[in-house]
Amino acid sequence: MFKNESFIDFTIAENRARFAAMLLDVQKAIDAKTLEASPMVDGKKCGSGGTIPSLDPSNFDVTLGLVRLASDREAESALESTRSGATAWGNTDFERRAELCKKVGENLRRDRLFLAGLIVREAGKNWREADKDVCEAIDFCDFYAEEMLRLGPVKLTEDVPGEQNSTFYKPRGVCVVIAPWNFPLAIACGMTMAALVAGNAVILKPAEQTSLVADRLARAILDAGIPGNAFAFLPGLGEVIGRMLVLDPRVDMICFTGSKTVGLEIIRSAATVKSGQRSIKRVVAELGGKNGLIVDEDADLDEAVKSIIESAFGYSGQKCSACSRVIVVGDAYEPLLQRLCDATSDIIIGKAADCATFVGPLIDEEAQKRVKSVIAEGEKHSQLAFKGKAPEHGYFVPPTIFRDVDTDSPLWREEIFGPVIACRKATDFNEALALANDSEYALTGGVCSRSPRNIELAKRSFLVGNLYINRSITGALVCRQPFGGFRMSGVGSKAGGHDYLLQFMEPRTVSENTMRRGFAPEA
């Protein structure tokens, strides 16, 4: 059985003290201006494309460190370098690649407290969420290494006298990884390590908001001994560097996690074949969700309220898996809504670095403006049930709940990626399921119910990639809950699942006639 990396047990006072001490270390590094991110091409540091500051979303007056951006020329070198490095890396024994992949995990594990601290500051995650981010990154390294060991050996497919058939996998070539900021370590690491362990050379373009964290990942990868021409790190602006990488004919595969708009654009441009291009670009894209949680009439409301708050407001709703629609069956609607609003008014909002914080800031000014305007628009067209208060001087947005939301409204249909819930009543469980399924997305969903029949019904017909029953709908664990959806929620199979690595490889089959002059070796 796969063993997930254990979260820090924060119920133990010493563990909280250790984390607090480490946050002071991070602060010292910030004060000493030693935190930075730089492109790494061919194993060498560079970055002549200018610099941008990385700001603390909990207090935008604080610059955490400088991010040196890759220039176009450096991106070009990265493409050349990985193109040439891909062959040797792909020919490296899969056992060796798996070993190096595990070593990356080891490096992250050794540094796990500091990494979590950096995530607290740069991504604005609270302590527990930051720790889970690091654990998930380590899990990806361990899990994909084990997967490669499982998939690596050549398989003899049929046993017929005089004929030997074997199937095995080859890497695709150069894979561009475009990572999001919301799991700055875990998702960047998962996509990168899956591509690498499968034998591809990788160019990682991190999210500009969380480049400092990604820089640590890049170092962990190179320190493990993965060749500099098999892995390039290119911090830069998505519209510039990202676009250039996606369009380049030397790229065989693009692995992306982010918004639906950008994802569809990548898929469209990947379909355009340029001269000199060797393969049809394969795109794996994890996109958004508009995830619903159904509260059945017979649900345990204590548990339902807890699950909704955890799912909708954890990391301020900035998870693809976050709950943004709540559908309540029948007479449970009013009491649930009342308790949910009351409970929301008391949750602790503050700086991510404060131990007690449950809801931190949004990632940046743009996100804050966007979500605030979604709320303002919502207040015009829908009925506000609750709106909290948020601190100033960081990118905070108050947790907000709308009720009786119209099914045509943007609040009901569009991904918000902030601490906003749209609620609606359904007359019965079937109607609730229909409402939940009526979405262009199909990522996560949840049901709080104590009816065995309705739970069975949901398992069959609540059409989402990850369905959660009587619990929160976020926090999928590698291997235990392979993660990913369908419809507009993305293409490609589940991260942290047994099919994931296959997407990074091409199966090849060899059939050899072993009969010569009427004789064949015995099988």
Which residues are the active-site residues? Answer: 286, 320
Q: Which stretch in 89-97, 304-312, 397-405, 437-445 sits in contact with other proteins by CB under 8 A? A: 304-312
Distance CA 255, CA 234 (A): 15
DSSP-based three-state secondary structure for 130 = helix
For other proteins, the closer of residues 17 and 88 by Cβ is: 17
Query: Which amino acid makes up residue 487?
Result: R
Closest distance of CB 24 from other proteins, Å: 17
Q: Does 299 bind other proteins (CB under 8 A)?
A: yes
For other proteins, the closer of residues 1 and 32 by Cβ is: 1
Distance CA 415, CA 440 (A): 10
State which of residues 240, 347, 491, 520 lies at the interface with other proteins (CB under 8 A): 347
Closest distance of CB 69 from other proteins, Å: 36
Closest distance of CB 475 from other proteins, Å: 11
Looking at the DSSP bridge assignments, the partners of residue 402 are 384, 422
DSSP-based three-state secondary structure for 394 = coil
Looking at the DSSP bridge assignments, the partners of residue 383 are 403
Site string for other proteins, 278-297 (x = CB under 8 A): -------------------x
Residues 404-463 that bind other proteins (CB under 8 A): 450-453
Q: Does 345 bind other proteins (CB under 8 A)?
A: yes
Of 512, 514, 480, nearest to 497 by C-alpha is 480
Closest distance of CB 479 from other proteins, Å: 13
Compute how many other C-beta atoms are within 10 angstroms of the C-beta atom of residue 160. Answer: 12
Q: Does 481 bind other proteins (CB under 8 A)?
A: no
CA 504 to chain centre: 17
Closest distance of CB 416 from other proteins, Å: 23
Q: Which segments of 313-452 are extended strands (E)?
A: 323-329, 383-387, 400-403, 420-426, 441-442, 444-448
State which of residues 11, 34, 275, 513 lies at the interface with other proteins (CB under 8 A): 11
Using N-to-C axis directions, what is the helix angle for 112-123 and 94-110, rounded to 10°? 70
Q: Does 339 bind other proteins (CB under 8 A)?
A: yes
Q: Does 346 bind other proteins (CB under 8 A)?
A: yes
Whether 501 and 200 have beta carbons less than 8 Å apart is answered as: no
Q: Does 109 bind other proteins (CB under 8 A)?
A: no
> Binding-site residue total for other proteins (CB under 8 A)?
37
Of 287, 280, 306, nearest to 295 by C-alpha is 306
For other proteins, the closer of residues 16 and 219 by Cβ is: 16
Closest distance of CB 112 from other proteins, Å: 14
Whether 448 and 296 have beta carbons less than 8 Å apart is answered as: yes
Whether 410 and 311 have beta carbons less than 8 Å apart is answered as: no
Site string for other proteins, 110-139 (x = CB under 8 A): ----------------xxx-----------
Q: Does 13 bind other proteins (CB under 8 A)?
A: yes
Looking at the DSSP bridge assignments, the partners of residue 420 are 400
Total residues found in the chain within this entry: 523
For other proteins, the closer of residues 11 and 513 by Cβ is: 11
Which tokens go with 262? 């950008």
Q: Contact residues for other proteins (CB under 8 A)?
A: 3-4, 6-7, 9-11, 13, 16, 126-128, 297-302, 305-306, 309, 330-331, 339, 342-343, 345-348, 355-356, 358, 450-453
